[in-house]
Chain A
Amino acid sequence: MSRNAPQRDDVLSEEALKESFPDYSGQVTASEHVPARDADTVPAEEIIRDELANQLDNDLYRHQAKGLKALADDENIVVTTSTSSGKTRIYALQIARNQLDNPDATALCIYPMKALTRDQERTLNDRLAEWDVDTRTEVYDGDTKRDRKRDIRSNADTILTNPAGLNVYLPRHNTDSGWSRFYNNLELIVVDEAHQYSGVMGTHVAWILRRLRRLLKYYNADPQFVLTTATIGNPAEHATRLTSEEFTVIDEDGSPHGERDIVLWKPPIDEEAFREAEEYNMDPSEGGLEEFRISTGEEAAKVTAHLAINKRQTLQFCSARQGTEIAAQKIGGAARDHPRGYYVDTKAYHGGLGKRTRRGIEAQLQDGVVDAVASTNALELGIDIGGIDATVTSGYPGTRQSFWQQIGRAGRGQTDALSVLVGGADAMDSYILDNPSYLFEDDVEDAVVSIENEQVYADHLCVAAKERRLTDEDAGILGEEDRLSEMVSMWQEAGVLERGVDLENGVHYTGDTRPESRISIYDTSGRQYIVNCIDGEIDHDPVAKERAYRDYHKGALFLHDGEQYEVVEVEHDARTPRILVEERTTGRYTQTLSDKRISNLRPEMSQDLGNGYKLWFGRANVDIDYAQYLVHNISTGEVESGPHPTGSPPLSLDTELMWVSLPSDHLSTTISRLDEPLLQPTKHAEEDTGLTEPEQYTYAGGIHAAEHGIIQLAPLELMIDNSDIGGLSTPRHPDERIPGPVWFVHDGIDGGIGFSRAIYNNFENIAERTYDHLDTCDCQRRRGCPLCVMSEHCGNQNDPLDRVVGRQILGDVMDRL
């Protein structure tokens, strides 16, 4: 493959792509041209001592210079410039400066993935050696051999690890030799790819970093922080939430890049299939015309194959569900079917591959010997794979932050680059294809991390007590004074913290050994389910209880890495709860039905919008019974069997939620404003045997649609995973503070993880986007479609659901905002 700079009129531009793509039929719905940018540099010797400056082979980009200057001024920095803009160089130089000032100085670097840690170990070692800095950088994690660990603790200058490791290493600070030296001399803490720490994991990381800082006080160390993140909307806030320190934001990117086109690509209708359906006079079901669109995966493979055939090395990002192996096969197939068809060398890359295999593919990408790689978001992070010519994103990755991170992978230095987003079949993708400006606005999502979850806090407090007795000096960093003392009392009464003493005296840990080993950074209860395949291997992350009950009950079918599995057994009472699955090809999918109750509302914030409209945020008990499930046919959507019992126990959450309460007469005023056809029950409503009052049904469908819409489109503003959000809408609720109809949006994780809090805080923007989308969704169907208000997680089979009335109800609320 040629490594010569591609020409603009060749393949890597919107126009060239349209012209060269076989049978192009208008798939491009929008595009954005990003002009080339020259490097904005500052002479290195203005910022760093000559000793180092002389060693650098080029000047500092402006953001690097600013970052280093801020560090010299004793500030903490959060660097939020683009992919490959040289963020590592900032902290590598800081490590070098610290070492030159004090040969004993140490640094701790925390990465979200082991693969990235190894990669950065090489980079840091190479850089520091180039600059003639005599220092030792080592990875210390679960893969490090025991005898090496002792040596590293005692002698390494920079230690690279991950948060789960740090959780376990911190309590050993005074039993494993070497840590005291390391912590005593710690001058720099790097948290790389900090945007990764949101949701449940973010909550844990925030407490692990607080435990670290608190312990460092005892070692008289007060290190500076460097956080790097992808572009997020709230870098300073996020950094502070994670660490409880103040930060200076470094966001003016001084790195150069070439011209770049970003193209939005909508898979075309498969004319042949459509004609066939018409011939047989088949009635398009729920999906309407959408059913005949070529699938996202197929279409993305065609684009990738086309670019690879044109000798442009291409990285295709797949959403986790599609599976990179299958994508790689599809790219191979599409290349063979291409008019200029021939073989393209394609590889699949994901976190489940062995270390050596991954390293091999990374090297092949760097050396330009592989034509195309289908990858999960694992390659989105800063692993060094050099520059590549083009990226193809198969289905919107869920956040703009992630999207831009992927796009940043395209381009070699100042050469041209092309990125194609092939739209997928859900509400988010649909919104983006309809509203491309959303992607190109200056805004990006806010990262959401919460330290409010009491269960997570309580557990980390125990570990902190084990690390060192708790005293009132810990108030602030280990929770505000009241929260700390109340939680300490709770644990004292439970007998796991020393009784009969208060924080003034110091409180020791007296619980069972190794509490840190019972903290899982993937859930809040410490009780997570592992997934085992009975007839082979499955590389599946552990599942939190909340998701296990809903999505992994006995008989549930689910897709993972492109394969379908059925849950054959769930061991709820085992020492380590376990989900046993079997590979299956069924042509069916399952849908879990639920019964939900929200009670004991404890409002914490509210916003009175007047005239009976009110927004609330607070806590409540959410009781969900995922008692039954249905089995559907994939192609027709028809129920094939069920309801069957799930065997999942009832789930009781005490969690955070926001709710929108409407005036007591809102039902009647809404109905009275509806045009005649909207008052007629829908076909679905007529089939519902429980239907007694069609008007109520219509209204309930509307409020249900508003609830679904908000949940489905919240990720447009916030980096949140909406499978961890649930909802409930009802024309009446027993709570006396709620006069009329209401809809709730709650965190699906016990104790809450800040999602519904963030929705409350950003409600206006989210409501506006939802309203626009409900108004313009291509389906224009009264019941909506999976691209707007239908949800696969709905426990009521998406009934009743009324897109049009939902839009009207949202409009009423927005008029008051």
Chain B
Amino acid sequence: MVPVETDPLPGTRLPQEGETPATVLAIPGPVVKQYDVHDVVADAIEAIGPDIIIATPPNSTHVALPPVTRITDIPVVDPSRSASYHAVGGSGVLFAMVPTPDHLPPTPTDVPRETGGSGGFAGLEHCYLVSNCLELTIDPHHRETRLEGIDEYLDSLPDGWLDESLITHVSTGLRAEYQARYETATDTYPIHGAGPPTSSVGAAIDENERPLIELSVYSNGAIRVETHDPTNFGLQGLEGIGPTKAERLRDHGFNSRDAIAGTTPKALAKIRGFGEKTATAVHKSATAIATGEVVPRDGGTLPNGDPVFIDVETNGFNGEIAWLVGVLDGGSEEGHYLPFRQQEHDDPIGHVDAFMSWLTGVAGGRPVVAWNGYGFDFPIIKRHLERDAPEWVDDWESRYQFDPLYYATTQGHATFPARSNRLEAVAAALGWESTTTGVDGGTAAREYNTWQQTANQSDGYQPDWDRLEAYCEDDVRALATVYEALQDASRRPPGTEMPKNRTGEQSRQGSLSDFS
């Protein structure tokens, strides 16, 4: 058996606990062409709060120009055009943006001297060297994947930029999810993408993927990627609003969500193409965001009884094993968290068995609630039981299961105050704050899989279980926050939402000093 690499890619590492990452927003050219910059891009910048904005292909030149540069003070950089250097204060992270590595000074520590900056760059922990030099070609005919441009890139890279523990090579020509470790005879180079999916490479990559890219980068080289659909921002982010209706709203002077929340559905219904139904939906959606509250819509009843909130962590996309069932017994703040986690490599069911014993014994008759539960958690648990503990299947099947995401969006019983329907986004809009950083479902799955794959090695990998359990706890508390807001909304008379106190909002923006 080939030994399994326990840290295959630096980008997947767990960052320091509690570290606030630097945030990069990558904007491809077409976003600026296709969407209203003042509405959509401005809203996206406000929501994501980046430390730096990078222009990525295709047509990156459209991005680093007015109007984008005019709507924000945050640096907007097109690495393919000119070299610039940016340090994100506090995190020890340096971004070096270059058309090619030829532009670089001899070493990363030479950067401040060359630019004559404010007294040198101290405490550099990691440098992200960003260019547009590398692209990926997938060639099924020859069954190979090629990193195009790597030879020229490495040839022009100064010797002082080789330290793999210090430098991550980022290309906007690679899709943001891409990462690799490129090895030559003498050196190793961590490579990461920061761009949208580029050309047709096969079914595994969605070319129409949401093209706004948020990269959270950490001082140990870890990177987390999240993509956003531009239609979630600005007026188009409101329910029932496409490009045409957004245009008409602007024509009638409704330039922002606040403006729409501040008017009446009746006034909106006068606009061409806005029936009473659309006007009401749009108004509710704008109100939800403006007030930071869930706005109830027609119909729908929440389950009776105290819910049991759950979130499962699995070993992969189509999760065959739920190795962690995180349970919150009680409310979002005071509730008691119970992580049922797999303990032994070869016992995939003991913890699920314990969970079912608890559920049927202690929590008999209470509804089970999971975010996107119908699409993920519930069937995975059922499948897991069918395979490994069929005696529990009937108990599980007969238990009332509730999915707030399905209830609100698919069934249309409520409008969330967030720009997307991700649990974290919805809960954050409702005031929930995450206590963990740097872990997501993919990281958790990788940690588990590495543990499993090194089971037979004497120095087998041991994940930081506490941290993974804490991440899952964060999610069940977020879930409870959303559920409680749904409950509040269902009890509240319609139209009594309170405007959100905007001054209390925390800015995610770190302090930034420029070196260009």
Using a CB–CB distance below 8 Å, which chain A residues touch chain B?
171, 174-177, 180, 454-455, 457-459, 462-463, 466-469, 483, 486-487, 489-491, 493-496, 498-502, 504-505, 508-516, 518-519, 525-527, 575, 619, 654, 751
Tell which of B143, B442, B449 touches A490, judged by Cβ atoms closer than 8 Å. Answer: B143
Write out the residue numbers on chain A whose beta carbons fall within 8 Å of the beta carbon of B144.
486, 490, 493
Contact present for A462 and B204 (CB under 8 Å): yes
Stretch at the interface among B134-142, B248-256, B354-362: B134-142
Whole-angstrom CA separation of A424 from B379 in the bound complex: 57
- Given A490-B144, A493-B180, A508-B316: A462 and B380 interface contact (C-beta under 8 Å): no
Contact present for B318 and A467 (CB under 8 Å): yes
Whole-angstrom CA separation of A457 from B140 in the bound complex: 9
Contact present for A459 and B203 (CB under 8 Å): yes
Nearest neighbor of B450 in chain A, beta-carbon distance? A500
Tell which of B145, B200, B205, B450 touches A511, judged by Cβ atoms closer than 8 Å. Answer: B205
Decide yes or no whether B206 CB sits under 8 A from chain A: yes
Contact present for B204 and A175 (CB under 8 Å): no
16 A–B contacts, CB within 8 A, in A order: A175-B379, A175-B380, A177-B382, A180-B383, A458-B140, A490-B140, A491-B204, A494-B138, A495-B180, A498-B446, A501-B4, A505-B1, A508-B315, A508-B316, A518-B203, A526-B200
Whole-angstrom CA separation of A667 from B204 in the bound complex: 50
Nearest neighbor of A653 in chain B, beta-carbon distance? B141
Contact present for A494 and B203 (CB under 8 Å): no
Decide yes or no whether B124 CB sits under 8 A from chain A: no
Write out the residue numbers on chain A whose beta carbons fall within 8 Å of the beta carbon of B317.
466, 508-510, 513
Of all A-B residue pairs in the complex, the 6 with the closest CB atoms, nearest first, are A511-B204, A500-B8, A508-B316, A496-B204, A493-B145, A459-B203
Whole-angstrom CA separation of A212 from B4 in the bound complex: 30
Contact present for A486 and B202 (CB under 8 Å): no
Nearest neighbor of A458 in chain B, beta-carbon distance? B140
Decide yes or no whether B9 CB sits under 8 A from chain A: yes
Residue of B140, B201, B207, B376 with most partner-chain A CB within 10 A: B140
Nearest neighbor of A576 in chain B, beta-carbon distance? B208
Write out the residue numbers on chain B whose beta carbons fall within 8 Å of the beta carbon of A510.
316-317, 442
Contact present for A455 and B386 (CB under 8 Å): no
Tell which of B141, B179, B204 touches A515, judged by Cβ atoms closer than 8 Å. Answer: B204
- Given A458-B202, A498-B316, A512-B205: A175 and B375 interface contact (C-beta under 8 Å): yes
Contact present for A459 and B202 (CB under 8 Å): yes
- Shortest Cβ gap from A543 to chain B (Å): 16
Contact present for A466 and B138 (CB under 8 Å): no
Whole-angstrom CA separation of A177 from B375 in the bound complex: 10
Nearest neighbor of B383 in chain A, beta-carbon distance? A174
Decide yes or no whether B5 CB sits under 8 A from chain A: yes
Whole-angstrom CA separation of A490 from B178 in the bound complex: 13
- Given A501-B453, A526-B200: A654 and B318 interface contact (C-beta under 8 Å): no
Nearest neighbor of A545 in chain B, beta-carbon distance? B200
Whole-angstrom CA separation of A453 from B262 in the bound complex: 59
Write out the residue numbers on chain A whose beta carbons fall within 8 Å of the beta carbon of B433.
none
Decide yes or no whether B164 CB sits under 8 A from chain A: no
Write out the residue numbers on chain B whose beta carbons fall within 8 Å of the beta carbon of A527.
200
- Given A175-B380, A495-B177: A455 and B202 interface contact (C-beta under 8 Å): yes
Contact present for B8 and A499 (CB under 8 Å): yes
Chain B contacts with A in 261-277, Cβ cutoff 8 A: none
Whole-angstrom CA separation of A526 from B207 in the bound complex: 11
Whole-angstrom CA separation of A486 from B5 in the bound complex: 19
Chain B contacts with A in 295-321, Cβ cutoff 8 A: 315-318, 320
Write out the residue numbers on chain A whose beta carbons fall within 8 Å of the beta carbon of B5.
500
Using a CB–CB distance below 8 Å, which chain B residues touch chain A?
1-2, 4-5, 8-9, 136, 138-141, 143-145, 177-180, 197, 200-209, 315-318, 320, 375-376, 379-380, 382-383, 386, 442, 445-446, 449-450, 453
Write out the residue numbers on chain B whose beta carbons fall within 8 Å of the beta carbon of A619.
141
Contact present for B204 and A174 (CB under 8 Å): no
Write out the residue numbers on chain A whose beta carbons fall within 8 Å of the beta carbon of B9.
499-500
Whole-angstrom CA separation of A467 from B320 in the bound complex: 10
- Given A176-B379, A495-B179: A509 and B205 interface contact (C-beta under 8 Å): no
Nearest neighbor of A504 in chain B, beta-carbon distance? B1
Whole-angstrom CA separation of A462 from B317 in the bound complex: 12
Write out the residue numbers on chain A whose beta carbons fall within 8 Å of the beta carbon of B386.
180
Write out the residue numbers on chain B whose beta carbons fall within 8 Å of the beta carbon of A515.
203-204
Whole-angstrom CA separation of A457 from B453 in the bound complex: 27
Contact present for B180 and A459 (CB under 8 Å): no
Residue of A174, A467, A495, A575 with most partner-chain B CB within 10 A: A495
- Shortest Cβ gap from B142 to chain A (Å): 8
Nearest neighbor of A493 in chain B, beta-carbon distance? B145
- Name 5 extra pairs, CB < 8 A, besides A500-B9, A508-B317: A458-B202, A490-B145, A499-B180, A510-B317, A575-B208
Interface residues of chain B: helix, strand, loop or mixed (majority): loop
Write out the residue numbers on chain A whose beta carbons fall within 8 Å of the beta carbon of B450.
500
Write out the residue numbers on chain A whose beta carbons fall within 8 Å of the beta carbon of B136.
494
Write out the residue numbers on chain B whose beta carbons fall within 8 Å of the beta carbon of A175.
318, 375-376, 379-380
Whole-angstrom CA separation of A498 from B205 in the bound complex: 14
Write out the residue numbers on chain B whose beta carbons fall within 8 Å of the beta carbon of A504.
1-2
Write out the residue numbers on chain A whose beta carbons fall within 8 Å of the beta carbon of B200.
525-527
Contact present for B2 and A462 (CB under 8 Å): no
Nearest neighbor of B175 in chain A, beta-carbon distance? A495
Tell which of B138, B201, B209, B320 touches A468, judged by Cβ atoms closer than 8 Å. Answer: B320
Contact present for A459 and B204 (CB under 8 Å): yes
Whole-angstrom CA separation of A508 from B453 in the bound complex: 12
Tell which of B2, B204, B320, B382 touches A502, judged by Cβ atoms closer than 8 Å. Answer: B2
Whole-angstrom CA separation of A283 from B376 in the bound complex: 74
Nearest neighbor of A515 in chain B, beta-carbon distance? B203
Write out the residue numbers on chain B whose beta carbons fall within 8 Å of the beta carbon of A455.
140-141, 202
Contact present for A174 and B145 (CB under 8 Å): no
Residue of B144, B205, B380 with most partner-chain A CB within 10 A: B205
- Shortest Cβ gap from A689 to chain B (Å): 39
Write out the residue numbers on chain B whose beta carbons fall within 8 Å of the beta carbon of A525.
200
Residue of B141, B382, B386 with most partner-chain A CB within 10 A: B141
Write out the residue numbers on chain B whose beta carbons fall within 8 Å of the beta carbon of A519.
203
Nearest neighbor of A184 in chain B, beta-carbon distance? B386
Whole-angstrom CA separation of A486 from B141 in the bound complex: 11
Write out the residue numbers on chain B whose beta carbons fall within 8 Å of the beta carbon of A516.
203
- Shortest Cβ gap from B508 to chain A (Å): 26
Whole-angstrom CA separation of A505 from B445 in the bound complex: 15
Contact present for A174 and B318 (CB under 8 Å): yes
Nearest neighbor of B1 in chain A, beta-carbon distance? A504
Residue of A462, A466, A500, A525 with most partner-chain B CB within 10 A: A500
Write out the residue numbers on chain A whose beta carbons fall within 8 Å of the beta carbon of B320.
174, 468-469
- Given A177-B382, A500-B8, A504-B1: A463 and B318 interface contact (C-beta under 8 Å): no
Whole-angstrom CA separation of A175 from B312 in the bound complex: 14
Write out the residue numbers on chain A whose beta carbons fall within 8 Å of the beta carbon of B1.
504-505
Whole-angstrom CA separation of A511 from B207 in the bound complex: 12
Contact present for B318 and A509 (CB under 8 Å): yes
Nearest neighbor of B9 in chain A, beta-carbon distance? A499
- Shortest Cβ gap from B353 to chain A (Å): 19
Whole-angstrom CA separation of A519 from B206 in the bound complex: 11
Whole-angstrom CA separation of A716 from B445 in the bound complex: 55
Write out the residue numbers on chain B whose beta carbons fall within 8 Å of the beta carbon of A494.
136, 138, 145, 178, 201, 204-205
Whole-angstrom CA separation of A176 from B8 in the bound complex: 33
Nearest neighbor of A483 in chain B, beta-carbon distance? B143
Contact present for A496 and B205 (CB under 8 Å): yes
- Shortest Cβ gap from A578 to chain B (Å): 14
Whole-angstrom CA separation of A525 from B376 in the bound complex: 30
Write out the residue numbers on chain A whose beta carbons fall within 8 Å of the beta carbon of B2.
502, 504
Nearest neighbor of A509 in chain B, beta-carbon distance? B317
Whole-angstrom CA separation of A504 from B3 in the bound complex: 11
Write out the residue numbers on chain B whose beta carbons fall within 8 Å of the beta carbon of A751.
140-141
- Shortest Cβ gap from A132 to chain B (Å): 31
- Shortest Cβ gap from B489 to chain A (Å): 26
Write out the residue numbers on chain B whose beta carbons fall within 8 Å of the beta carbon of A575.
207-208
Nearest neighbor of A621 in chain B, beta-carbon distance? B141
Contact present for A518 and B379 (CB under 8 Å): no
Contact present for A500 and B4 (CB under 8 Å): yes
